[in-house]
Amino acid sequence: MKLYNLKDPKEEVGFLQAVQLGLGKKQGLFFPKKLPILDHNTLDHLINMNFIDRSTQILSYFLNDEISLSNLKLIVKNSFSFQKPILKSITKNISCLELFHGPTLAFKDFGARFMAQILLFLNTKNKPMTILTATSGDTGAAVAHAFYKMKNIQVVILYPKGKISTLQEKLFCTLGHNVHTISINGSFDDCQNLVKKSFNDSLLNKKMHLTSANSINISRLLAQICYYFEAFSLTPIQHQKNLIISVPCGNFGNLTAGLLAKSLGLPIKNFIAATNSNNTVPNFLKNGVWEPKPTISTISNAMDISQPNNWPRVKELFLRKKWNLKTLKFGSVSEKQTKKTLKELYNLNYISEPHASIAYHLLKKKIKKNDFGLFLGTAHPSKFQTVVEKILKIDLSIPKILYMHNKKKILSHTLESDFQQLKHFLLKNL
Ligand SMILES: *Cc1c(COP(=O)(O)O)cnc(C)c1O
């Protein structure tokens, strides 16, 4: 698969190169040159396959010129070697697609583990590299665990100090070995900017062979296409024609993947882009003005992003497919409403967490009589234990993996949101 740089379309790279580069020149995102389209029979056939075989097939439409089918199957098997997504019925016409049954209890496991397996596949020449990434909560754990103890790979993770939940932090800042964690006195957007600056620094790049594991990395997005097909195959046949999917959005990688699934031909009727009070995209879709405001901290902290990195890809896809951006549904949900919705779901016998609650609220508001709605369960409620327990006034049972990490010591360093300080630290310590 060839990809072009959205900021400099003359720059073209292959998939494997794009995975290693992360970003192109001028920090542009890579975007597929050809968008495969599947015919009706192929789609029918795919829907009936099992998750691993189907995912291999879907990814091969993009990657077959660079990775053989047998190698790809192995990569997919090793990446998705955990409980596949589950559909939980909430009301007559709304279900939650739970994507959080992987090793770090968030949907980020799909993309991060696929990316790690691709780099492992590439790493036959024993070339050392450094994965540098920013996290608003769940990417950190997924990436750290996916690359943990992998030969020749160092992992550096930046996160906003005090702005992620304790259990989230414990899950990736206690590992050590090749995983280095740095808490930054700033917001997620500050962390993301530090990552971008590092990629622009030739000395750092030369010394450390930087690669990003954020959802700017195309490998993560391709992996996520796979569970939208699973969502469709789990939907009762009589509802498949009227499927609406509500996505809790932060960096908009998850939504991009869903739209890519639709572009392949998967007949999803519509998507809802759901955000918290960090509403740059909803405002843009309403007024046509792109005006990121300072990031606001919320209880749905993985979505506390005011400059969503993947938005240019969403725009490009609409342009390429000649879809009208006005057909994309959207909304922004307040903190108060998020809490209220969490309680509402609890009264429907479902323990959720703030991110999925936001998606559910907008789905309920926008769904039509004959539609069938899915909202994406992006993280396990126990990752947000304190908040969920406080709002619902219950005790949550904590899965073993969280419990184990919770007892360990946090190994992070703290730095200011200052590029020179970070550069100095990386050159000295890695
Ligand atoms: C990362 C994350 C999101 C946002 O996903 P994007 O792909 O960045 O839009 C939503 N919910 C949870 C729990 C997350 O970890």
The total number of residues shown for the chain amounts to 430
The residues, any chain, with a CB within 8 Å of residue 288's CB and separated by 6 or more, are none
171: enclosing H helix or E strand: helix 166-173
The residues, any chain, with a CB within 8 Å of residue 265's CB and separated by 6 or more, are 37, 38, 39, 40, 42, 43
Q: Is the CB of 249 under 6 A from ligand 1?
A: yes
Q: Let me know if 347 is exposed, middle or buried by CB neighbors in 10 A (0-12, 13-18, 19+).
A: exposed
SS3 labels along 63-101: HCCCCCHHHHHHHHHHHCCCCCCEEEEEECCEEEEECCC
Alpha carbon distance 277, 143 (integer Å): 26
Taking the centre of ligand 1 as the mean of its atom positions, its distance from the CA of residue 401, in whole angstroms, is 20
Give 300-339 pLDDT, tens digit per residue. 999 999 999 999 999 999 999 999 999 999 999 999 999 9
Residue spans per domain, the chain = 80-104+220-392
Q: Is the CB of 160 under 6 A from ligand 1?
A: no
Q: Let me know if 319 is exposed, middle or buried by CB neighbors in 10 A (0-12, 13-18, 19+).
A: exposed
Q: Is the CB of 302 under 6 A from ligand 1?
A: yes
Q: Is the CB of 304 under 6 A from ligand 1?
A: no
**In this structure, which residue's CA is closest to atom 8 in ligand 1?**
251
Confidence band (pLDDT; 50, 70, 90) for 125? low
Q: Stretch 112-127: mean pLDDT, rounded?
A: 87
Q: Is the CB of 98 under 6 A from ligand 1?
A: no
248: enclosing H helix or E strand: strand 243-248
Sort residue 59 into left (φ over 0), alpha (ψ -120 to 50) or beta. Answer: alpha
Please tell me the pTM assigned to this model: 0.94
Taking the centre of ligand 1 as the mean of its atom positions, its distance from the CA of residue 127, in whole angstroms, is 31
The preferred substitution site among 251, 260, 295, 387 for testing ligand 1, maximizing ligand atoms within 8 Å of CB, is 251
pLDDT at 136 over 90: no
Give 235-256 pLDDT, tens digit per residue. 999 999 999 999 999 999 999 9
Taking the centre of ligand 1 as the mean of its atom positions, its distance from the CA of residue 136, in whole angstroms, is 8
Confidence band (pLDDT; 50, 70, 90) for 23? confident
Q: Let me know if 152 is exposed, middle or buried by CB neighbors in 10 A (0-12, 13-18, 19+).
A: middle
Pairing of strands 2-5, 8-14: antiparallel
The preferred substitution site among 107, 109, 281, 383 for testing ligand 1, maximizing ligand atoms within 8 Å of CB, is 107
Q: What is the number of the ligand 1 atom nearest to the C-alpha of 253?
A: 7
Q: Is the CB of 250 under 6 A from ligand 1?
A: yes
413: enclosing H helix or E strand: strand 413-416
The preferred substitution site among 303, 357, 358 for testing ligand 1, maximizing ligand atoms within 8 Å of CB, is 303
pLDDT of residue 421: 97
Q: Stretch 336-358: mean pLDDT, rounded?
A: 98
Q: What are the two backbone dihedrals, phi and then psi, of residue 323, each rounded to the nearest 5 degrees?
A: -90, 150
Nearest-10 crossing angle of helices 253-264, 311-321 = 20
2: enclosing H helix or E strand: strand 2-5
Q: Is the CB of 143 under 6 A from ligand 1?
A: no
Count of beta carbons in the 10 Å neighbourhood of residue 108: 31
**In this structure, which residue's CA is closest to atom 15 in ligand 1?**
138
Q: Stretch 403-417: mean pLDDT, rounded?
A: 94
Q: Is the CB of 137 under 6 A from ligand 1?
A: yes
Amino acid identity, residue 80?
F
Count of beta carbons in the 10 Å neighbourhood of residue 32: 22
Q: Hey, what are 350's tokens?
A: 């479902």
pLDDT at 360 over 70: yes
Q: Let me know if 240 is exposed, middle or buried by CB neighbors in 10 A (0-12, 13-18, 19+).
A: middle
* Range 313-320 contact pairs with CB under 8 angstroms and sequence separation of 24 or more: 313/6, 313/29, 313/31, 313/221, 313/252, 313/256, 314/252, 314/255, 314/256, 314/259, 316/6, 316/31, 317/31, 317/35, 317/256, 317/259, 317/260, 317/263, 318/259, 320/35
Give 147-182 pLDDT, tens digit per residue. 999 989 999 999 999 999 888 899 999 999 999 999
Taking the centre of ligand 1 as the mean of its atom positions, its distance from the CA of residue 284, in whole angstroms, is 20
Domain 80-104+220-392 has CATH 3.40.50.1100: yes
Q: What is the number of the ligand 1 atom nearest to the C-alpha of 355?
A: 11
For the chain, the average pLDDT equals 95
Count of beta carbons in the 10 Å neighbourhood of residue 26: 11
Taking the centre of ligand 1 as the mean of its atom positions, its distance from the CA of residue 275, in whole angstroms, is 10
pLDDT of residue 370: 95
**In this structure, which residue's CA is closest to atom 1 in ligand 1?**
302
pLDDT of residue 124: 59
Helices (H), 369-429: 385-392, 400-406, 419-429
Q: What is the number of the ligand 1 atom nearest to the C-alpha of 136?
A: 1
Pairing of strands 30-32, 2-5: antiparallel
SS3 427: helix
Report DSSP letters for 121-140, one per residue. Answer: HHGGG---EEEEEE-SSHHH
Q: Is the CB of 138 under 6 A from ligand 1?
A: yes
Taking the centre of ligand 1 as the mean of its atom positions, its distance from the CA of residue 355, in whole angstroms, is 8
DSSP assignment letter at 239: G
